[in-house]
């Protein structure tokens, strides 16, 4: 078994990404969808930091990851507010039944 | 203190009302006391303005200007370097105007706290006042045509908002629309004039344009174009300052709240037109000036005759405003533009006083505006009465009051103009108006404040207005005395005011000037760089004529004014002559005046009806001629169509139907994918990504 | 195997197992708690990758902030009386196939690519240099992010506010 290198991190992150994608596509509960999005963002972050680390690319990758974390926080706040609004309107948060986009 | 600080201060003065406007507009509903912010802003503005004014007048005889490049187009084909610059400039005229606008706006703000009390859109009213003040200050500070035009339109907009403030009333809504549309006609002309200049000089800045003309660079190398540009730009003033063909909006604008009338018709909007032509006086040729003078004289005469017979207290004041504006425009036309500006300032104060005073009367009479129902109010409202009387004396041209000085200067100017050029019509009209003004103003005072009360019920309820309304009246009354402007009550020549107004040199070529404005010697080298002091605008000749005209004009105007006052007393105080009898003696003239020379009717039956009839005619033309032609060609086409139709039906349609069927088939299948669920869409997106993967895999 | 590798595999296993629980669990509260482990694992990854400050931030912001927020969301939107805290799925089979193929492609690309790997240098601490970077090269982004956060704060408050007029 080789030493842990860039590929290992990338593999883990891509599996994590797929898991997040699965949650986003499949789950009905809006909060679970949000969790999926967080997973995807985190996997992207791992990529950023891993590339920066193994490519000796300085701090830019970490910087980007930092910004992603900040934006994720903002996104989570807004999205949860929207979810609460959906709950107020429909009395549930099943995204598949919120299909006004069809009309 | 360097001049640039004054520039920054004036920028603050400019933008504070805008901030007030936005804040009050957004939050006025929630915080009902927020209008106090507007008043505070105006008070701050006033203090700053006074500071700037004294600094400028005392320590900066030169003009202070600051420009920046707004848009740089770089090197434009066929034009060359093109950039649009904005900027502000402070001259003595500017700072004086700033003071006038801010002071009257502030007083109107204070006054309105009581007058508009209880109105359902109270805070909105204040925000509108804010944007009005902002746009007017923009016009005053502008150093270029573009900025002036932008703020010019803003003034139009905010006047629309204010005149139609009580839009539940149809008449108010209509008056707002009328004011806006009438102004648009003038503005269109002004914009064309500006474009003529811009096409030639590629700049909007006043100074650069003036210098270019001064250097002999005439638009399209033709003096006619210069005249045209001047007259077109003057059209803007015709609209805004309610001059003769377009004056009809101003009396209707009385539908707005009375403090608004004071603001619009005394200090801001209508003054903008006169201020503008004073500012760009340099580019008017002799022909343009003559047009300006004639239009001004006609305006003042027509509206003075109308004012003689009106019964609505605000209508009288409205027509008197038009008439006085005509005076100012006329003064610019005859070259006495510093008197025009002088009159603008004095008029601003006493006309604001008249409007606010009439507002006080209307307030006391529970929104009764008909003078025939008033009378005897002198005892009930002494402060209003005495301040109103002061303003009336001022506007009638009685010595010791401000109006006398400025009017006298204007009349002397017209008199000199008449004697120098032979256009005697202008001074004759001017003097007639002076007499009529005295008559109708005293008629107003006597009918409203003297005699027996005609409507006892309303009279009994009348009372003096609260201090928030009387303090502005008193302030303005103080400013209506001669001493504010000059120590000598019969001549303003030695006063500080006239001496502070810059001499503006006319820059048009010598052969397009009036003879009396031609300078004997070409401006010499040392003065060449300094634009403001370049050449004396008037030759010695004209100054001499003005001086000579001073005493005859003064005596004549005094005689006419006292005749007018006397006549008013005879008719409305001693009742020696019945007004009805006089009206019956000349029924035609009376009707003509009462119905405002039938201007509205005339416009209605010509322009408005004309437009409607023309469009009807065009529609008939469309129906008969064009449709006929179309139908004819249609018949021919139809023959061909039949043939090609058969081809279409069998060959083309077959293909099209096949395509449609195919699309329908796939649509039927793919319709199921349009579920409206975002999750399914994401799934599809991933699927397509995989397809792309597969396609590009061989290149990997 | 060195210690580094052992730690890596430990946290990788933790991330993957908890990740599967997050997306697969029927009970949404379980999902939320597993997410905690995923996030902690990722924080450990950051530290393994020499980004110590980022790891701390990950713990503070994600675990301390976002996760709590999500839990609040769960609490507010489910009937807490017991039975309803379940969540089911739809389109499981087609989605599973699609995502499996997608992941296969991803892994294929990652493993087949010849990554240019330089032996990484470990910097002792990144906090100082990150801070300097943040106010020098990234100062504009920094400011914009501040504004974005403010807007998000206000927006979230406005959206989630109970409108008294309706009730």
In order, the DSSP letters of B675-695 are -S-HHHHHHHHHHHHHHHHHH
Write out the two tokens for B583: 């009206």
Per-residue pLDDT, A2: 66
Confidence of residue B638 (pLDDT cuts 50, 70, 90): confident
Share of chain B above pLDDT 90, in %: 0
Residue ranges for chain C with pLDDT beneath 50: 167
Per-residue pLDDT, A55: 82
pLDDT digits (tens, 9 = 90+) for B207-222: 888 888 888 778 777 7
Whether residue C119 is found in the same domain as residue C140:
no
- Best of C87, C89, C91 to disrupt the B interface (most B CBs within 10 Å) is C91
Write out the two tokens for B247: 């004056």
Q: Do C73 and A31 touch (CB under 8 A)?
A: yes
Residue with tokens 């002494």, as numbered in its chain: B382
Whether residue C111 is found in the same domain as residue C143:
no
Q: What is the dihedral sign for C-alpha A50, A53, A58, A62?
A: positive
Whether residue C137 is found in the same domain as residue C157:
yes
Cα–Cα distance, B363 to B258 (Å, whole number): 9
C-beta separation of B569 from B442 below 8 A: yes
Alpha carbon B104 to chain centroid, angstroms: 16
Write out the two tokens for B415: 């008199």
Residue ranges for chain A with pLDDT beneath 50: none
Q: Is residue C75 part of a domain?
A: yes
Per-residue pLDDT, B523: 45
Whether residue C76 is found in the same domain as residue C146:
no
At residue B312, φ and ψ (nearest 5 deg) are -80, 125
Write out the two tokens for B98: 């700033």
B684 touching A, CB under 8 A? Answer: no
Per-residue pLDDT, C93: 85
Beta strands in B433-477 (DSSP E): none
Lowest mean pLDDT among A57-71, B295-309, B636-650, C105-119: B636-650
Return the number of other C-beta atoms located less than 10 Å from residue C61's C-beta: 18
Confidence of residue B676 (pLDDT cuts 50, 70, 90): low
Q: Which of B449, B448, B450, B413 is nearest to B430 (CA)?
A: B413
Whether residue C50 is found in the same domain as residue C63:
yes
Question: Which residues are registered as beta bridge partners of B142?
Answer: B88
A57 touching B, CB under 8 A? Answer: no
C-beta separation of C156 from A81 below 8 A: yes
Burial (Cβ within 10 Å: 0-12, 13-18, ≥19) of residue B569? middle
Whether residue C158 is found in the same domain as residue C99:
no
Write out the two tokens for B159: 């006047």
DSSP state of C163: P
Q: What is the dihedral sign for C-alpha B42, B48, B53, B54?
A: positive
Per-residue pLDDT, B579: 67
Q: Do B690 and C101 touch (CB under 8 A)?
A: yes
CA-to-CA separations, C61 to B220, B438, C34, in angstroms, rounded: 70, 81, 17
Confidence of residue B359 (pLDDT cuts 50, 70, 90): confident
CA-to-CA separations, B146 to A32, B81, B285, B400, B663, in angstroms, rounded: 58, 18, 22, 41, 56
Q: Which domain holds residue A82?
A: 6-102
Q: Choose among A15, A30, A54: nearest Cβ to C103.
A: A15
Per-residue pLDDT, B700: 64
Write out the two tokens for C116: 């240019």
Q: Which of A40, B678, A97 is nearest to C87 (CA)?
A: A97
Q: What is the Cα Rg of chain A in Å?
A: 17
Q: Do C126 and A53 touch (CB under 8 A)?
A: no
Q: Do C121 and A56 touch (CB under 8 A)?
A: yes
C88 touching B, CB under 8 A? Answer: no
The CATH number of residue C23's host domain is 1.20.120.1200
Number of domains in chain A: 1
Whether residue C157 is found in the same domain as residue C95:
no
At residue B368, φ and ψ (nearest 5 deg) are -100, 125
- Categorise residue C37: left if φ over 0, alpha if ψ from -120 to 50, beta otherwise: alpha
Label residues B403-419 b or e (16+ Cβ within 10 Å = b).
bbbbbbbbbbbbbbbbb
Whether residue C8 is found in the same domain as residue C73:
yes
- Best of B673, B678, B687 to disrupt the A interface (most A CBs within 10 Å) is B678
Mean pLDDT value across chain B: 80
Per-residue pLDDT, B522: 45
Q: Choose among A1, A6, A26: nearest Cβ to C90.
A: A26
Per-residue pLDDT, B434: 86
Cα–Cα distance, B174 to B167 (Å, whole number): 9
Whether residue C14 is found in the same domain as residue C59:
yes
CB contacts, 8 Å: A96 with chain B: 677, 679
CB contacts, 8 Å: A39 with chain C: 19, 22-23, 35, 38
Write out the two tokens for B418: 């008449």
Q: Is residue A12 part of a domain?
A: yes
Cα–Cα distance, B292 to B325 (Å, whole number): 12
Write out the two tokens for A50: 């891993």
Q: What is the dihedral sign for C-alpha B400, B401, B406, B411?
A: negative
Return the number of other C-beta atoms located less than 10 Å from residue B46's C-beta: 21
Q: What is the dihedral sign for C-alpha B225, B329, B102, B494?
A: positive
Cα–Cα distance, A94 to A98 (Å, whole number): 7
Question: Which residues are registered as beta bridge partners of A27?
Answer: C89
Cα–Cα distance, B280 to B207 (Å, whole number): 10
Residues 6+ apart with CB under 8 A from B502: B63, B91, B92, B93, B532
Whether residue C58 is found in the same domain as residue C138:
no
Confidence of residue B536 (pLDDT cuts 50, 70, 90): very low
Per-residue pLDDT, B573: 75
pLDDT digits (tens, 9 = 90+) for B479-524: 888 777 777 776 767 677 777 777 776 777 777 777 666 655 444 4
Indicate whether B380 pLDDT > 60.
Answer: yes
CA-to-CA separations, B501 to B337, B351, B480, in angstroms, rounded: 10, 22, 19
Residues 6+ apart with CB under 8 A from B249: B175, B178, B179, B182, B183, B242
Q: What is the dihedral sign for C-alpha B360, B361, B365, B370?
A: negative
C95 to chain B: closest CA residue:
B683
Q: What is the β-pairing status of strands B80-90 and B64-76?
A: antiparallel
Question: Which residues are registered as beta bridge partners of B85?
Answer: B69
Q: What is the dihedral sign for C-alpha C146, C152, C154, C157?
A: negative
A101 to chain B: closest CA residue:
B676
Share of chain B above pLDDT 70, in %: 90
Interaxial angle between packed helices B122-141 and B35-59, expressed in degrees from 0 to 180 and rounded to the nearest 10: 20
Per-residue pLDDT, B656: 78
What average pLDDT does this structure show over B254-265?
84
**Helix, strand, coil percentages in chain B from 3-state DSSP, rounded to 5:** 75, 5, 20
Task: Report yes or no on whether pTM surpasses 0.90.
Answer: no
The CATH number of residue A87's host domain is 1.10.287.3510
Q: Is residue C114 part of a domain?
A: yes
B68: part of which helix (H) or strand (E)?
strand B64-76
Please tell me the distance in Å from C159's CA to the nearest CA on chain B: 20
Q: Is residue C97 part of a domain?
A: yes
Q: Is residue C99 part of a domain?
A: yes
Per-residue pLDDT, B526: 41
A101 touching B, CB under 8 A? Answer: yes
Residues 6+ apart with CB under 8 A from C78: C28, C84, C85
First to last CA, chain C: 64
Q: Do A49 and C20 touch (CB under 8 A)?
A: no
Per-residue pLDDT, C167: 45
Whether residue C75 is found in the same domain as residue C133:
no
Question: Which residues are registered as beta bridge partners of B401?
Answer: B481
Residues 6+ apart with CB under 8 A from C162: none
Q: Do C16 and A16 touch (CB under 8 A)?
A: yes
ipTM for this prediction: 0.88
C114 to chain A: closest CA residue:
A7
C-beta separation of B70 from B116 below 8 A: no
Per-residue pLDDT, B550: 76
Return the number of other C-beta atoms located less than 10 Å from residue B283's C-beta: 23
Per-residue pLDDT, B471: 84
What average pLDDT does this structure show over B286-303?
88
pLDDT digits (tens, 9 = 90+) for B157-203: 888 888 888 888 888 888 888 888 888 888 888 999 998 888 888 88
Q: Do A32 and C39 touch (CB under 8 A)?
A: no
Which chains are adjacent to chain B, needing at least 3 Cβ pairs under 8 Å?
A, C
Per-residue pLDDT, B674: 65
CB contacts, 8 Å: B675 with chain A: 99, 102
Cα–Cα distance, C88 to C69 (Å, whole number): 22
Q: What is the dihedral sign for C-alpha B169, B173, B176, B182?
A: negative
B605 touching A, CB under 8 A? Answer: no
Confidence of residue B649 (pLDDT cuts 50, 70, 90): confident
Q: Do A77 and C156 touch (CB under 8 A)?
A: yes
Q: Which domain holds residue C16?
A: 3-80+91-125
pLDDT digits (tens, 9 = 90+) for B395-440: 888 888 888 888 888 888 888 888 888 778 888 888 888 888 888 8
Q: Which of B91, B94, B75 is nearest to B83 (CA)?
A: B75
C-beta separation of B28 from B126 below 8 A: yes
Tell me the three state secondary structure of residue B264: helix
Q: Is residue A1 part of a domain?
A: no
Number of domains in chain C: 2
Confidence of residue B365 (pLDDT cuts 50, 70, 90): confident
Whether residue C139 is found in the same domain as residue C75:
no
Q: Do C152 and A96 touch (CB under 8 A)?
A: no
CB contacts, 8 Å: C95 with chain B: 683
Q: Is residue C167 part of a domain?
A: no
Q: Choose among B679, B680, B686: nearest Cβ to C102.
A: B686
Note the helical H segments in B142-257. 145-163, 170-201, 206-214, 223-240, 249-252
Per-residue pLDDT, A49: 92
Residues 6+ apart with CB under 8 A from B292: B234, B277, B284, B329, B330, B332, B333
C-beta separation of B163 from B270 below 8 A: no
What average pLDDT does this structure show over B10-15?
87
Please tell me the distance in Å from A48's CA to the nearest CA on chain C: 10
A82 touching B, CB under 8 A? Answer: no
Per-residue pLDDT, B518: 63
CB contacts, 8 Å: A34 with chain B: none
Per-residue pLDDT, B531: 40
B187: part of which helix (H) or strand (E)?
helix B170-201
Note the helical H segments in chain C. 3-24, 28-48, 52-57, 67-77, 92-112, 127-135, 139-160
């Amino acid at each position: 078994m080789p030493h842990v290198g860039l590929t290992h991190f990338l593999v883990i992150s891509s599996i994590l990404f797929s898991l997040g994608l699965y949650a986003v596509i499949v789950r009905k509960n809006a909060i679970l969808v949000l969790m999926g999005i967080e997973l995807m963002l985190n996997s992207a972050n791992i990529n950023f930091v891993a590339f920066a680390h193994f490519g000796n690319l300085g701090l830019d990758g970490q910087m980007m990851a930092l910004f992603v974390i900040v934006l994720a926080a903002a996104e989570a706040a807004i999205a949860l507010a929207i979810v609460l609004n959906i709950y107020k309107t429909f009395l549930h948060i099943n995204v598949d039944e919120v299909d006004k986009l069809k009309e | 203190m360097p001049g640039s600080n004054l520039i920054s201060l004036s920028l603050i003065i400019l933008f504070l009302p805008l901030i007030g406007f936005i804040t009050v507009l957004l939050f006025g509903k929630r915080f009902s006391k927020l209008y106090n912010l507007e008043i505070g802003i105006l008070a701050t503005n006033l203090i700053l303005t006074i500071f700037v004014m004294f600094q400028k007048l005392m320590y900066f005889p030169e003009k202070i200007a600051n420009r920046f490049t707004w848009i740089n187009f770089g090197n434009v084909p066929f034009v060359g370097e093109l950039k649009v610059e904005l900027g502000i400039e402070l001259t003595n005229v500017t700072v004086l105007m700033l003071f006038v606008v801010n002071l009257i706006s502030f007083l109107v703000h204070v006054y309105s706290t009581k007058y508009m009390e209880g109105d359902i859109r109270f805070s909105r009213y204040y925000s509108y006042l804010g944007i009005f003040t902002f746009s007017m200050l923009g016009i005053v500070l502008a150093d270029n045509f573009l900025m002036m035009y932008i703020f010019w339109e803003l003034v139009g907009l905010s006047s629309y908002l204010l005149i139609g403030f009580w839009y539940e009333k149809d008449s108010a809504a209509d008056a707002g629309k009328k004011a806006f549309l009438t102004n648009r006609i003038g503005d269109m002309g002004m914009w064309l004039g500006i474009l003529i200049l811009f096409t030639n000089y590629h700049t909007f800045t006043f100074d650069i344009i003036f210098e270019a003309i001064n250097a002999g660079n005439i638009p399209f190398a033709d003096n006619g174009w210069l005249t045209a540009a001047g007259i077109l730009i003057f059209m803007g003033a015709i609209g805004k300052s309610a001059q003769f063909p377009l004056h009809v909006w101003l009396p209707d604008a009385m539908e707005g709240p009375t403090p608004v009338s004071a603001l619009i018709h005394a200090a801001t909007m209508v003054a903008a037109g006169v201020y503008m032509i004073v500012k760009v006086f340099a580019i008017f040729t002799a022909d343009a000036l003559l047009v300006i003078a004639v239009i001004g004289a006609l305006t003042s005469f027509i509206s003075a005759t109308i004012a003689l017979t009106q019964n609505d207290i605000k209508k009288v004041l409205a027509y008197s405003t038009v008439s006085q504006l005509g005076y100012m425009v006329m003064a610019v036309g005859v070259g006495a533009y510093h008197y025009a500006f002088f009159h603008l300032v004095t008029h601003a104060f006493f006309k604001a006083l008249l409007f606010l005073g009439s507002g006080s009367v209307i307030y006391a009479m529970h929104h009764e505006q008909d003078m025939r129902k008033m009378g005897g109010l002198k005892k009930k409202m002494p402060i209003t009465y005495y301040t109103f009387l002061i303003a009336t004396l001022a506007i009638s041209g009685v010595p010791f009051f401000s109006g006398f000085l400025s009017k006298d200067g204007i009349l002397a100017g017209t008199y000199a103009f008449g004697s120098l050029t032979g256009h005697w019509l202008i001074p004759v009209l001017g003097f007639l108006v002076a007499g009529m003004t005295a008559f109708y103003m005293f008629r107003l005072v006597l009918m409203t404040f003297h005699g027996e009360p005609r409507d006892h019920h309303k009279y009994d309820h009348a009372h003096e207005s609260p201090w928030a309304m009387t303090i502005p009246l008193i302030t303005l009354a103080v400013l209506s005395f001669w001493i504010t402007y000059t120590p000598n009550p019969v001549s303003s020549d030695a006063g500080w005011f006239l001496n502070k107004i810059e001499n503006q040199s006319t820059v048009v070529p010598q052969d397009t000037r009036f003879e009396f404005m031609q300078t004997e010697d070409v401006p010499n080298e040392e003065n060449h760089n300094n634009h403001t002091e370049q050449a004396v605008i008037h030759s010695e000749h004209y100054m001499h004529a003005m001086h000579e005209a001073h005493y005859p004009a003064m005596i004549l105007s005094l005689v006419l004014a006292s005749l007018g006052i006397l006549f008013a007393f005879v008719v409305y105080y001693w009742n020696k002559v019945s007004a009805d009898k006089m009206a019956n003696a000349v029924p035609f003239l009376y009707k003509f005046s009462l119905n405002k020379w039938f201007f509205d009717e005339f416009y209605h039956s010509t322009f408005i009806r004309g437009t409607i009839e023309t469009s009807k005619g065009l529609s008939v033309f469309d129906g008969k001629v064009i449709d006929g032609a179309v139908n004819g060609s249609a018949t021919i086409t139809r023959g061909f169509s039949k043939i090609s139709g058969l081809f279409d039906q069998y060959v083309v349609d077959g293909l099209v139907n096949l395509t449609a069927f195919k699309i329908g088939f796939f649509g039927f299948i793919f319709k199921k994918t349009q579920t409206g669920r975002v999750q399914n869409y994401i799934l599809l997106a991933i699927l397509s990504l995989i397809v792309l993967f597969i396609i590009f895999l061989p290149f990997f | 195997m060195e210690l580094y590798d052992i730690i890596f595999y430990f946290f990788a296993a933790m991330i993957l197992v908890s990740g599967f629980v997050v997306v697969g669990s029927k009970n949404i509260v379980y999902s939320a708690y597993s997410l905690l482990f995923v996030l902690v694992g990722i924080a450990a990854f950051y530290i393994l990758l020499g980004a110590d400050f980022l790891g701390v931030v990950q713990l503070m912001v994600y675990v301390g902030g976002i996760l709590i927020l999500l839990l609040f969301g769960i609490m507010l939107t489910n009937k807490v009386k017991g039975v309803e805290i379940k969540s089911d799925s739809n389109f499981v089979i087609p989605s599973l196939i699609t995502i499996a193929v997608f992941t296969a492609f991803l892994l294929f690309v990652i493993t087949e690519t010849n990554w240019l790997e330089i032996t990484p240098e470990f910097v002792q601490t990144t906090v100082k240099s990150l801070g300097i970077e943040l106010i020098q090269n990234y100062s504009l982004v920094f400011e914009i992010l501040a504004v974005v956060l403010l807007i998000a704060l206000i927006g979230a408050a406005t959206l989630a506010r109970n409108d008294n007029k309706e009730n």
